[in-house]
């Protein structure tokens, strides 16, 4: 197999490539760091690290299949955690209603993004970049430095363990399974592929493109709200700096998992495999003692490689 055929196979069969890459990374680190990497404790750390990014990646994959994306998810995540924290500590909400309030606030912020993109026809890049700044500023006006000591009742969502793994991972696993089913088997979510492939043709075929895209943004907001409420529970603190830079990690994982910047392709299981690779890579770099600044560089390089694979696959298809 020559070089071009190999690259084309990698680009077009991304889940299989990611499975191989994840296995190679696990085996390689197990050989290089046998005392620290292949342990149950470290495995639990890696799986917990997939939780936040994995939840966000499900919504981002749906958006990117539809030819959209959301750069405000870090701001929504932090704002939702703050709302949940305020509700449970200062407004007297019981833990479950406070947790749900954080999730629903994420949906409200996601709906604002949806209105800007579908109603006012603002480019998703500009709209969500603007709302990222607005949400970040708004949450600091509301909470100042954040909300601390949320109480043992609220921390049950993020600090409960099952099979030695903290509950955020199990929330993420349930979301991945649910969205894998929805995207592959339900008519509504399958519309994302038609919209991302050709929005005009999708509209002519009877799909309400604006309504569907709006709902996708709301779903993205709800998932970011869930991630924020879970993080506040996990830390027992809602911090204003939560989710900084998460947009880059999520988009990298989703593109690595097979999404295209032009829309129309991608799978939820591919997104999860991309998330897992990013978590394993970060864990390996931490164990190896690599400088955090180099870790950021590696994430950027991985994103460039992922986009390059997407471009190669598209050019090969056109040829």
CATH of the domain at 22: 1.10.3470
Q: Give the per-residue pLDDT at 194.
A: 97
For the chain, the C-alpha Rg in angstroms (whole number) is 20
Q: Residue 7: its pLDDT value, please? A: 58
C-alpha distances (whole Å) from 233 to each of 41, 86, 132, 147 are 21, 12, 23, 11
Pairing of strands 146-148, 161-162: unpaired
Query: Residue 304: which domain range?
Result: 18-31+40-318
Q: Structurally, how many domains does the chain consist of?
A: 1
Say what the pLDDT of residue 95 is. Answer: 96
214 inside domain = yes
pLDDT of residue 261: 85
Determine the pLDDT at residue 295: 86
**Residue pair 159/167 in contact by the 8 Å Cβ criterion:** yes
Whether residue 10 lies inside any domain: the answer is no
pLDDT the model gives residue 313: 67
| Digit-coded pLDDT (tens) for 141-165 | 998 889 999 999 999 999 999 999 9
- The predicted pLDDT at position 9 comes to 61
CB atoms within 10 A of CB 299: 19
Low-confidence ranges of the chain (pLDDT < 70): 1-12, 313-319
* Torsion angle in degrees (nearest 10) through CA of 184, 251, 18, 199: 40
Q: Evaluate whether residue 12 is within a structural domain.
A: no
d(CA 158, CA 164): 13
For residue 146, the 8-state DSSP code is E
Output DSSP code: residue 156: H
Residue that is written with structure tokens 């988009």 in the block? 251
Q: How does pLDDT run across 217-229, given as a tens digit for each residue?
A: 999 999 999 999 9
Asked, for residue 173, whether it belongs to a domain, the answer is yes
Query: Which tokens belong to 312?
Result: 């190669």
């Amino acid at each position: 197999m020559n070089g071009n055929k190999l690259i084309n196979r990698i680009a077009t069969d991304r889940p299989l490539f990611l499975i191989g890459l994840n296995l190679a990374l696990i085996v390689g680190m197990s050989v290089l760091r046998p005392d620290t990497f292949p342990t149950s404790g470290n495995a639990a750390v890696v799986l917990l690290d997939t939780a936040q990014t994995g939840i966000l990646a499900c919504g981002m994959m749906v958006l990117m299949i539809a030819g959209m994306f959301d750069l405000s998810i870090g701001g929504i995540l932090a704002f939702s955690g703050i709302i949940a924290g305020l509700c449970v500590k200062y407004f007297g909400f019981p833990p479950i209603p406070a947790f749900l309030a954080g999730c629903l606030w994420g949906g409200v912020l996601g709906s604002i993004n949806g209105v800007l993109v579908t109603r006012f026809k603002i480019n998703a890049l500009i709209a969500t970049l603007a709302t990222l700044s607005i949400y970040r500023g708004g949450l600091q006006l509301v909470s100042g430095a954040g909300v601390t000591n949320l109480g043992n009742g609220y921390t049950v969502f993020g600090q409960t363990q099952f099979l030695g793994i903290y509950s955020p991972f199990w929330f993420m696993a349930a979301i991945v399974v649910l969205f894998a089913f929805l995207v592959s088997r339900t008519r509504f979510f399958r519309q994302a592929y038609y919209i991302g492939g050709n929005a005009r043709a999708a509209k002519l075929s009877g799909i309400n493109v604006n309504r569907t895209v709006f709902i996708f943004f709301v779903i993205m907001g709800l998932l970011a709200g869930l991630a924020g409420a879970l993080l506040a529970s996990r830390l027992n603190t809602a911090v204003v700096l939560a989710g900084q830079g998460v947009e880059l990690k999520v988009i990298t994982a989703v593109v690595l998992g097979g999404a295209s910047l032009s829309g129309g392709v991608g799978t939820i299981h591919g997104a999860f495999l991309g998330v897992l690779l990013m978590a394993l890579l970060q864990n390996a770099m931490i164990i190896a003692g690599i400088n955090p600044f180099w870790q950021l560089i590696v994430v950027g390089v991985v994103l460039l490689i992922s986009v390059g694979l997407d471009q190669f696959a598209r050019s090969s298809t056109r040829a």
